[in-house]
Amino acid sequence: MSERALAVDAVVIGGSAGVVQVLLHELLPALPAALAAPVFIVVHVPRDRPTLLPQLFRERSAVPLLEAEDKMPIKPGCVYLAPPDYHLLVDDGPQLALSADEPIQFSRPSIDALFESAADWYGERLLGIVLTGASSDGAQGLRAVRDAGGMAVVEDPDTAATPYMPSAARALVPDATVLSRERIAALLARLPVSKP
Amino acid sequence: MDAEVARSARTRDIELKLLLDAIYLRYHYDFRSYAVASLRRRMTAALARFGCETVSQLQERLLHDPTTFPQLLDYLTVQVSEMFRDPAYFLALRERVVPLLRTYPSLKVWVAGCSTGEEAYSLAILLREEGLASRTQIYATDINPHALRRAEAGIYELDRIALFTENHRRSGGKSSFSDWYTAGYGRAVLDRELRRQIVFSDHSLATDTVFAEVQLVSCRNVLIYFNRPLQDRALGLFREALCPRGFLGVGARESLRFSAHGHAFEDVARDERIFRKRAGA
């Protein structure tokens, strides 16, 4: 324990092109086994293919990882992945809610929709991270996180697999913290953990 | 949270609650038990559409200008649908449910929250293909009269037909989808025979009661917009409407696990979210 735990109650993460590799190899393995905050992830996936992502991700994650279902209770220490073809929202409670409303910025699930709803509930106790990707989804959402007083992080576009998404987020949220993947992994390692 | 941002978020939630009360009192539509996160998003879109700065402004207009509410209703109700959406669901209906439906001399099917009719027409085609049409009545209900009128017309944009055709094929369709519509002027007009099989009507899962005994309820991607108590109310209606051992289909990521009525149903096709009412339930 080199650095003190982050003062956050939840984490939202979004990305598209290139993000599966980043999550698999760098970020999910960085989550502490005794994680005490929920993590919500939107990855842009094609709508009509059965997704293997939950299975794939589960192998790399020391904490339970679930594909989100409507009205699922939110447990600290769980990772929730947005299902294909639905928006994932944090509803009052908090509990998970899904929406089949139209795609936002051509995407369903939408990173913006997740981030904005999570910012509504968690306010300043939220960490939002926009990773590699090929659309500008996530930029508005990250601004909502920042505006609510939460912590806004962008993957360094210079080293991101696809810089478009983090660049768009940085352009809209100039005071977001820009970090390399390694630094983001180190940040996640400092998430609050439950006392043994 | 930044104090000012927190205050404005809190204010917006108060305004939203007041607006829903106003809608209920003035127009008798009950959105008070809808899931808040989705409502907030839809309200943001509606404010932009109506050029209102705040929800309070929209409320004033809503109360004093009766032409506003029908337009707002389109923002508050689901309009997104497609024929044979989630082909695996319809394939599972064919393979797992239709053989049992054949044992009934007459059939009633309830499509709850039918929006613009795509799901109801999909079922009408499926039942035709399975030879059950002549003994089946489909009830398709929604709260939005504008959506119901469009559903009754059975006319869809031609550029959606390629998707419908592909969905239909993947759903185990036994006919050519092109047999079911006539194309012209950029539109596809569905076969009037399909229309005759369906009764479209106004019904609210929030405020109305059961109107018929049915063998199958299909209600997909409607419950996600409700909060838990309203979901329980709707599922209670389905449970009451279903005949003994009747079937219920919900959306691909909807679950009965978190509902008070979950125990009354058993899985028929788990991945496709088709359930059957337990004996005695």
Interface contact flag, B37 A149, Cβ < 8 Å: no
Angstrom CA distances, A187 to A4, A48, A128, B29, stand at: 10, 34, 12, 47
Prediction ipTM score: 0.92
Cα nearest neighbour of B229 on chain A: A71
- Give the model's pLDDT for residue B3: 73
The first and second tokens of residue B3, run together, are 């104090």
Q: What's phi and psi for A14, nearest 5 deg? A: -140, 150
How distant is the Cα of B38 from the closest Cα of chain A, in angstroms?
A: 7
Per-residue pLDDT of chain A (196 residues; tens, 9 = 90+): 456 789 999 999 999 989 999 999 999 999 999 999 999 999 998 776 667 889 999 998 999 999 999 999 999 999 999 999 999 999 999 999 999 999 998 999 999 999 999 999 999 999 999 999 999 999 999 999 999 999 999 999 999 999 999 999 999 999 999 999 999 999 999 999 998 7
Cβ-Cβ contacts under 8 Å, A95 against chain B: 228
- Which residues in B lie closer than 8 A to residue A116 (C-beta atoms)? 41
| Tokens read off for B180 | 């079911």
Which residues are bridge partners to B138 per DSSP? B109, B198
* Predicted model pTM: 0.94
- In this predicted structure, the answer to whether residue B250 has a pLDDT above a threshold of 80 is yes
CB-based contact A127:A12 (threshold 8 Å):
yes
Residues B43 and B45: their CA atoms lie apart, in Å, by: 5
- Residue to substitute from B221, B224, B227, interface A, most A β-carbons within 10 A: B224
Instruction: Name residue, tokens 């994932």.
Output: A88
Distances (CA, A) of A117 to A26, A129, B9, B153: 26, 15, 11, 36
Residues of B in contact with A69 (CB under 8 A): 253-255, 257
* pLDDT at position A49: 63
pLDDT digits (tens, 9 = 90+) for B159-185: 999 999 999 999 999 999 999 999 988
When CB atoms are compared, the residue of B80, B231, B255 closest to A100 is B80
**How far, in Å, CA of B61 to CA of B65, rounded?**
5
Q: Which of B38, B255, B273 to mutate to test the interface with A (most CBs of A within 10 A)?
A: B38
